[in-house]
């Protein structure tokens, strides 16, 4: 199981210079990938294009909500970022949190699996340099992304938690990226469903990217209380509530990895055993807490590559 490091907004307010430095630290510390999530601040792909241009590390989005970006536009953004960075790019996409998609952007959220199927059926060819002429139930896309230079198509993964979206991820993408999902749910639900779908579609074994806040600390109760407050939304929205219920968790504080260096290492072992191929660690807490966490995770990442 590879270990990657989350950068940017998910770790707290950060300037662009801070994001660039976080990616550099991830590269210098031996992490496999630097991951950026699309929140309400920096554009994830643009920030990675800037930061990844000067650090030799794989980069990825986990994830970019698709409804706000037409696939013609997202394909152009992704290929531009891939051309800029020194390592390979993983383009993680998702349907987005329904309340935000409708409430902030006024976009429809009905038939999410149908919409995503059409979206991915167009996005894949565009990333490969092909033209599309798609007139579907939920999407129209006509044209191509004309970028010279033979830019390789990024790997595409889909944020998927429910069975229908997981089957779609296995059929049409390279894997899935999860957030706030524990090892029990991964082992008993996510990994079996997507793996079966990929096999039936004749695709390679899927990438299983699991993301969680991580904090190496001697005051676990205090840290979990802060996580419960900061990530309270995840305990309320249907997209995450169903997954937390599968895990038997009250909220994000119950699935976050918090504890001593030994306890953190033991937790990561459980994710490896669950079938996770790549773990996205989001260092949590103060600067000192994050630095301590990164130091411990760097040692664990080195062990994973031996």
Mind listing the pLDDT tens digit for each residue in 196-208? 999 999 999 999 9
pLDDT tier, 306 (very low <50, low <70, confident <90, very high otherwise): low
| pLDDT band at residue 50 under the 50/70/90 scheme | very high
Lowest mean pLDDT segment, chosen from 108-112, 156-160, 212-216: 108-112
Residues 6 or more apart whose Cβ sits within 8 Å of residue 130: 144
In the three-class reduction of DSSP (H, G, I as helix; E, B as strand; rest coil), residue 65 is classed as strand
Mean pLDDT of 173-177: 98
Q: How far apart are CA 27 and CA 86, in angstroms?
A: 11
Average pLDDT, the chain: 96
Strand ranges for 136-275 from DSSP E:
140-143, 155-158, 175-179, 207-216, 257-259
Considering the entire predicted model, what is its pTM? 0.96
What gap in Å lies between CA 106 and CA 83, rounded to an integer? 33
Q: Which fold has domain 2-305?
A: TIM Barrel (3.20.20)
Structural domain spans, the chain? 2-305
């Amino acid at each position: 199981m590879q270990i990657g490091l989350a950068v940017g907004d998910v770790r707290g307010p950060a300037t662009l210079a801070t994001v660039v430095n976080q990616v550099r630290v991830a590269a210098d510390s031996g992490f496999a990938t630097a991951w950026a999530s699309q929140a309400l601040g920096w554009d994830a792909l643009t920030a990675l294009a800037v930061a990844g241009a000067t650090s030799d590390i794989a980069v990825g989005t986990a994830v970019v909500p698709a409804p706000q970006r037409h696939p013609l536009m997202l394909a152009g953004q992704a290929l531009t970022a891939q051309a800029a960075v020194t390592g390979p790019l993983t383009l993680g996409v998702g349907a987005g949190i329904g309340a935000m998609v409708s409430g902030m952007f006024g976009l429809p959220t009905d038939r999410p699996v149908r919409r995503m199927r059409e979206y991915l059926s167009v996005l894949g060819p565009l990333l490969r340099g092909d033209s599309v002429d798609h007139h579907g139930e939920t999407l129209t896309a006509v044209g191509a992304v004309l970028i010279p230079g033979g830019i390789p198509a990024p790997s595409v993964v889909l944020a998927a938690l429910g069975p229908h979206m997981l089957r779609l991820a296995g059929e049409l993408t390279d894997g899935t990226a999860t957030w706030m999902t524990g090892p029990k749910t991964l082992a008993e639900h996510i990994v079996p469903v997507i793996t079966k779908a990929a096999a039936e579609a004749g695709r390679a074994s899927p990438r299983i990217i699991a993301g969680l806040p991580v904090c190496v600390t001697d005051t676990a109760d205090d840290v979990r209380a802060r996580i419960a407050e900061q990530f309270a939304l995840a305990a309320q929205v249907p997209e995450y509530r169903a997954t937390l219920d599968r895990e038997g968790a009250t909220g994000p504080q119950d699935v976050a990895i918090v504890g001593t260096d030994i306890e953190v290492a033991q937790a990561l072992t459980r994710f490896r055993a669950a079938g996770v191929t790549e773990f996205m660690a989001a260092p949590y807490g103060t600067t000192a807490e994050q630095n301590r966490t990164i130091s411990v995770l760097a040692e664990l990442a080195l062990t994973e590559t031996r």
